[in-house]
């Protein structure tokens, strides 16, 4: 029985890594579709999200099956619960990438504008966080997981900066309010992706040492009032 359970856990690890690889790839393509004004690439991101949804359902069913058949306790139980929650966050990151891609299609049909915030830096931070959080899950590394939580503050700061910058742009160029509001939303989606990634890292920490690190007061303020 224990051997079967260990095999199931290895299988779950592989499944969640497959899911996260597709999510990472889709996120990277969604951001590229904004900077390249590439509506076709954006449509590919949207279509690929069906695979992400299917993978999420598979992981959840596998978790439930493992819980029912092997009735794991202690570390194994915590691992499976962590995978269940991480699975959920990955799927939502996938949805946010779709939302970015939908805005890419919209923006590609409007007059070209320079992106009014540091999208490359925000996107690369969020992508690195996601990659590290999943590495931390696989290697059971709490130090790595903690470093993910720390990076969330940088993304929050960049998002706050975006608000100020875009407010200024709208003032100077009110003819493109619709585009600027879409850019604002893209910045916010990247910030929410970093939040979900932080949730993943916190679940990894909890799984490793039973220490609940959620509920820093900062969480709710990440998308804070303008000025």
Q: Which of 37, 85, 128, 165 binds its own copies (CB under 8 A)?
A: 85
Q: Which of 88, 128, 146, 161 binds its own copies (CB under 8 A)?
A: 88
Q: Of the ranges 6-14, 20-28, 92-100, 135-143, which one interacts with its own copies (CB under 8 A)? A: 92-100
Q: What's the CA gap between 143 and 163, in Å, rounded?
A: 32
> Is residue 173 involved in binding its own copies (CB under 8 A)?
no
**Which residues within the stretch 129-168 sit at the binding site for its own copies (CB under 8 A)?**
163, 167
Q: What's the CA gap between 50 and 145, in Å, rounded?
A: 29
Q: Binding residues for its own copies, how many (CB under 8 A)?
A: 48
Extract the tokens encoding 151: 């990076």
Q: Which of 8, 49, 62, 152 binds its own copies (CB under 8 A)?
A: 49
Residue 204 and residue 138 in contact, taking contact as beta carbons nearer than 8 Å: no
> Is residue 208 involved in binding its own copies (CB under 8 A)?
no
The torsion angles phi and psi of 126, rounded to 5 degrees, stand at -60, -40
DSSP run (H or E) holding 159: helix 142-172
How distant, in Å, are the alpha carbons of 23, 51, 151 from that of 134?
12, 19, 15
Of 13, 10, 35, 24, nearest to 108 (Cα)?
Answer: 35
Q: Which of 19, 83, 84, 122 binds its own copies (CB under 8 A)?
A: 84
Contacts with its own copies by CB under 8 A lie at 49-50, 53, 56-57, 64, 67-68, 71, 73-74, 77-78, 81, 84-85, 88, 95-96, 98-99, 102-103, 105-107, 163, 167, 170-171, 174, 177-178, 181-182, 184-185, 212, 214-215, 219-221, 223-227
């Amino acid at each position: 029985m224990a051997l079967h359970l260990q095999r199931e856990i290895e299988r779950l690890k592989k499944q969640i890594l497959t899911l996260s690889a597709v999510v990472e790839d889709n996120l990277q393509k969604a951001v590229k579709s904004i900077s390249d004004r590439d509506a076709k690439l954006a449509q590919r991101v949207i279509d690929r999200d069906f695979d992400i949804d299917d993978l999420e359902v598979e992981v959840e069913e596998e978790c439930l099956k493992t819980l029912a058949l092997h009735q794991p306790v202690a570390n194994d139980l915590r691992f499976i619960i962590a995978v269940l929650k991480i699975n959920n966050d990955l799927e939502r990151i996938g949805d946010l990438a779709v939302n970015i891609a939908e805005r890419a299609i919209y923006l590609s049909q409007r007059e070209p504008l320079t992106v009014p915030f540091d999208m490359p830096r925000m996107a690369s931070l969020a992508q690195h966080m996601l990659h590290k959080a999943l590495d931390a899950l696989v290697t059971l590394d709490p130090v790595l997981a903690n470093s993910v939580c720390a990076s969330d503050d940088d993304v929050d700061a960049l998002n706050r900066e975006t608000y100020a910058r875009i407010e200024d742009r709208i003032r100077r160029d009110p003819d493109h309010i619709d585009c600027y509001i879409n850019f604002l939303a893209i910045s916010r989606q990247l910030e929410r992706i970093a939040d979900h990634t932080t949730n993943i890292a916190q679940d990894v920490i909890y799984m490793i040492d039973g220490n609940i690190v959620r509920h820093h007061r900062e969480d709710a303020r990440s998308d804070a009032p303008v000025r």
